[in-house]
Amino acid sequence: MHFSSNESFNQLIKDLNKNELKQNKLPDKLKNVLRPYQKEGFNWLNTLVNYNFGGILADEMGLGKALEVISLLLAHQKKDSTNLVVAPASVIYNCQNETQKFAPELKTDVLGGTKKERTQILANASKYDLLITSYQSLNRDLEAYQKLVFNIQILDEAQNIKNHQSITAQSVKVIKAHHKLALTGTPIENKLSELWSIFDYLLPNFLGSYLDFKKKLELPIIKDEDEEAEKQLVEMVTPFILRRLKKDVLNDLPAKEEEIVYINMGSKQSELYKLQTQKLIATIDLIKANLENGHKILLFSQFTSMPEIIQNKLRKLKVPIFVITRATAKKERQDKIHQFNSLDKPAIFLISLKAGGTGINLTSADVVIHYDPWWNLAAENQASNRAHRMGQKHTVKIYKMVTRNSIEEKIISLQHKKSRPSKNNLR
């Protein structure tokens, strides 16, 4: 396995030895905005770009990766140089809002709207400092993107390309850019192949072909628990991954407490309908108790119908109820988030896990309820971190509703088993 950019590496070593590392200055306007660890992140990203390397900013969810990227783009702003951010559709307008808030001098646009409108923006790409698009939109307009060369291409929530055989992964990898970066708090959600796919985007050939990687590293590590193979992989990828945990860098962040709430069932309650009824009753009781104690609550469910069911059960309480599902329009989603965060009284936000589990800030809530466990622990943690992130002022209480003697208990066990590769290779 060989990496093709030896020239860049040699130049980096030479400059390090001379103590003359190439660095763009952190913009003055952001010096008092970034925390120390964010300044370190900016410098790290800066070094990657200046020496033509790719890398993963893999900070734990809630540490403000976006601000580090905005600082980088501002530091590298130059005429006729367009950068591209590819993000989940649910957060593209949030990306735009954050950029306009901290760097209004960056001319930014979102590739939304009709095909004609998107085509027109791309035709005038050189007039923008930053274009923001979704993975789905990129797939639709791929031919137009392939005609362009971007300065820095950044994948937000880069776990979206974890399946290297997917159209999404293949699409982002054919875009031409001088520099490529990835942001994700979960470079490995389940399989080591997910890490390979992100590196295939960042540094093609660095980890070899997938078949080569699978044979020499993935299978020995996972099936044979080969410590030498694991050590080799860690040594290879560590220089290109920056990962910080909240407990290490946010000394002022309140604690996060997790509790599994078990719902016990007798033999006469084994029918699915009765199981769900008992679970719903227990959840409603938990919601009521927390609302009465003045808390703002986030409730996540992987089932798209569940937010509406719970909403109907709570109508009599006369508290503000907000709902986000995959059908919620992007602007409506942002409006609801703003309204919820602006409230200074108890409220509840009911969210479909896949619709609102990433990329949004809901730090005004201090209680999180997972109505049903999902086999993907990383996705659950991402959802919890909508509340437990920078800006949170209270201890965050997280409840997982689990039915005893059911598939849900097995899912909880599977979650912890599947989280092992991430811990071994990235911490």
In a domain, residue 1? The reply is no
**Count of domains forming the chain:** 2
Q: What is the CATH number of the domain that holds 280?
A: 3.40.50.300
Task: Tell whether 140 and 194 lie within a shared domain.
Answer: yes
* Closest to 401 (Cα-Cα) out of 425, 416, 380: 380
d(CA 116, CA 418): 44
Task: Tell whether 239 and 266 lie within a shared domain.
Answer: no
Per residue in 328-348, pLDDT (tens digit) is 888 888 899 999 999 999 999
Task: Tell whether 220 and 256 lie within a shared domain.
Answer: no
d(CA 94, CA 331): 9
Task: Tell whether 272 and 391 lie within a shared domain.
Answer: yes
Average per-residue pLDDT for the chain = 87
Per residue in 355-405, pLDDT (tens digit) is 765 667 898 999 999 998 887 788 888 888 888 887 888 889 999 998 877
Per residue in 179-214, pLDDT (tens digit) is 999 999 888 888 899 999 999 999 999 999 999 999
Task: Tell whether 259 and 348 lie within a shared domain.
Answer: yes
d(CA 23, CA 193): 33
Domain boundary among 225, 248, 271: 248
The answer to whether the CB of 96 falls within 8 A of the CB of 110 is yes
Domain boundary among 248, 281, 316: 248
What is the gyration radius of the CA atoms in the chain, in angstroms?
Answer: 23
Domain boundary among 217, 248, 279: 248
Task: Tell whether 15 and 143 lie within a shared domain.
Answer: yes
Confidence (pLDDT) at 403: 85
In a domain, residue 200? The reply is yes
Q: Could you tell me the residue range of the domain that residue 160 belongs to?
A: 6-248
Q: What pTM does this model have?
A: 0.73
- Residue 69 makes CB contacts below 8 A (sequence gap 6+) with 45, 57, 85, 154, 181, 183
Percentage above 70 pLDDT, the chain: 90
In a domain, residue 107? The reply is yes
* Closest to 191 (Cα-Cα) out of 357, 28, 424, 422: 422
